Structure 1
Amino acid sequence: MSDELTLLAEAGAAAVVAAMATDLWQATRDGVLGLFRRDAPDSAAPVGARLDEGAALVRTSAAPDDVRRALAGTWARELHELLRRDPACRVPLARLTAEVDGAFASGRAAVVLEQNNTARDSGTVFAVQHGDIHTTRRAGGATRQDPDDGPQ
């Protein structure tokens, strides 16, 4: 039984951290919180905070896969403890894991990139998420963007 719980916890942790910073994140997060809420209703807030911290680390990291690998061990332990305390969580965790894995297999889990730019006091914002943007200032403050420089 312990080996089964360990394998399920590891698979669940892999699914949770894989979903971080993707379109699947909110539903996965809600599913994990539901499991912990079943076990101990008061544990949802601290678990949610740890999930959000991990997702923020993945989202802002230059090496998100490294962060996911580091977080997987932590979440495997958390989920294993949950399964040990409440074996009835096995079925919903297995279902959540299968849903996340299935979404990745079908290509429905796109990475979510968020960018917020604000220009104030006559400022100008030049923003790009993928690629480069090259701008040139001309006399009088006019700016020209070269459309051949990639996505803008």
Structure 2
Amino acid sequence: MDEELAALAAAGAATLVAAMTTDLWQSTREAVVGLFRRAGRGRRATVAAQLDNNAALVESCGTPDEVRQALLGFWTAELGELLRSEPSCRSSLARLVEEAGTPGLRGGGAIRPTGRPHLEQRNSASDGGTVFAVQGGDQPHYSPPPGS
């Protein structure tokens, strides 16, 4: 698969798993099931059942973002195979990704096409203040006692 189709499959998978258990889930689910209609009724039913099972897993798990992360590779492969076998699905999947690119899906650490959470941090210091900032890790800091 060429790079552009691989990127579209990854973006589609990220959109799909990020939508699980959100207000956008039903419309996203229906759009993805619709993409698989060209692959036959049996395939469409299998995909619908898989989506329902995956969404239930995300909802029942104590760590939904970890489950979404685990599902990302599976759905990237599924959508990649669909794009290879049914090139006509390309524009529909691209439209789904574009339409779902709302703040409700992107914010709050939702899964991005890279598979990594989107983190944003703004720090400022004024009047001689100091900022020590870190995301996703530890930042040890030692300050000598005053007058040393």
Shift of 1:82: 0.0
Q: Provide runs of 4+ in structure 1 moved above 2 Å.
A: 38-42, 102-107
Q: CA RMSD in A?
A: 1.6
Q: State the identity %.
A: 54
Point out where structure 1 has 5 or more consecutive residues left out of the alignment: 108-152
For residues 3-152 of structure 1, what are the structure 2 equivalents within 5 Å?
Answer: 3-102=3-102, 104=104
TM, length-normalised to structure 2: 0.68
Shift of 1:42: 2.6
What secondary structure is seen at the aligned counterpart in 1 of 2:102? Answer: helix
The CA distance in 2 between the partners of 1:65 and 1:19, in whole Å, is: 11
Point out where structure 2 has 5 or more consecutive residues left out of the alignment: 108-148
Shift of 1:99: 1.3
The CA distance in 2 between the partners of 1:103 and 1:50, in whole Å, is: 26
User: What number of residue pairs does the alignment pair up?
Assistant: 107
Deviations 1:40-78 (Å, cap 9, x if unpaired)?
233111000100111001001100000000001000000
TM, length-normalised to structure 1: 0.66
